[in-house]
């Protein structure tokens, strides 16, 4: 009875799926919704490639720790906060509801950001690093002058970001213009504006590169372009501009 009650209360998304991240992104990111008092929790998405498949750009050890430890902890802590929030709302405990917002923002943001990041990466032998073509390629040329100028801008802003955070290539769906943005800590791009759609997010937390690049973040940024999956970014762009 207790077990049945637990399953009625919680629904894990993507928890047992071996589908690539892209197949469950919407479910994973759209999972924190309440439906008829049920609380749907987030789950760690599977990667579409092996941990060592991005070497030598990103080591397998970094990828394993990043996915299994760091991303998993964001998922766990986000779910814990959601459960506490659900209980606080049920009790009408307003101070607890407010207190939980920072944990939800940090851990929920970590889950959102990393779920996008894994999809922005692809092994070289599967097309990683191939420059964007068609509509996104043309938009990059129009808004930044050239693809090389965009890479230079992202590398500069990512290197200059103090502490931990993310550097993004985003589409402003209102103006239809591309823009480069940075966010601190695990703030997701939506905190910079509700009209911004993330096409590419690069994690510049030390846990993303330190074991391999030590404190030389610019080298990590210079190399990561060799494993960026521009097809994913193009698909998001084309869907958003259709």
Nearest to 177 by CA among 240, 235, 229, 110: 240
Q: Which is nearer to Fe ion, 70 or 226 (CB)?
A: 70
Q: Which is nearer to Fe ion, 82 or 208 (CB)?
A: 208
Angle at 175 between CA 161 and CA 199, to 5 degrees: 50
Task: Report in angstroms how near the CB of residue 219 gets to Fe ion at its nearest.
Answer: 17
Which class for 117: exposed (0-12), middle (13-18), buried (19 or more C-beta within 10 A)? buried
Task: Report in angstroms how near the CB of residue 29 gets to Fe ion at its nearest.
Answer: 16
CB-nearest residue to Fe ion: 203
Q: What is the contact surface with Fe ion in residues (CB under 5 A)?
A: 203, 205, 208
206 vs 15: CA distance, rounded Å:
27
Which class for 17: exposed (0-12), middle (13-18), buried (19 or more C-beta within 10 A)? middle
Residue for token digits 């480069």? 180
Q: How far is CA 195 from CA 26, 135, 153, 175, in A?
A: 18, 20, 21, 9
121 vs 49: CA distance, rounded Å:
9
Q: Which is nearer to Fe ion, 109 or 128 (CB)?
A: 109
């Amino acid at each position: 009875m207790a077990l049945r009650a637990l399953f009625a209360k919680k629904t894990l998304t993507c928890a047992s799926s071996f589908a690539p991240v892209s197949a469950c992104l919407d479910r994973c990111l759209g999972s924190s919704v309440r439906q008829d008092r049920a609380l749907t929790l987030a789950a760690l998405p599977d990667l579409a490639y092996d941990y060592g498949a991005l070497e030598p750009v990103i080591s397998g050890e970094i990828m394993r720790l990043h996915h299994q430890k760091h991303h998993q902890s964001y998922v766990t802590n986000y779910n814990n906060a959601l459960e506490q929030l659900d209980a606080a709302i049920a009790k009408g405990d307003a101070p607890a509801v407010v207190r939980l917002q920072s944990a939800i923002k940090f851990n929920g943001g970590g889950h959102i950001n990393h779920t996008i990041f894994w999809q922005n990466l692809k092994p070289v032998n599967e097309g990683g690093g191939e420059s964007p073509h068609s509509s996104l390629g043309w938009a990059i040329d129009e808004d930044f002058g050239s693809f090389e100028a965009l890479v230079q801008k992202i590398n500069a802003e990512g290197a200059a970001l103090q502490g931990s955070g993310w550097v993004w290539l985003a589409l402003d769906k209102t103006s239809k213009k591309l823009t480069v943005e940075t966010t601190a800590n695990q703030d997701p791009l939506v905190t910079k504006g509700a009209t911004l759609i993330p096409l590419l997010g690069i994690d510049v937390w030390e846990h993303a590169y330190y074991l391999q690049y030590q404190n030389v973040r610019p080298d990590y940024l210079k190399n990561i372009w060799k494993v960026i999956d521009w097809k994913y970014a193009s698909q998001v762009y084309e869907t958003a501009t259709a």
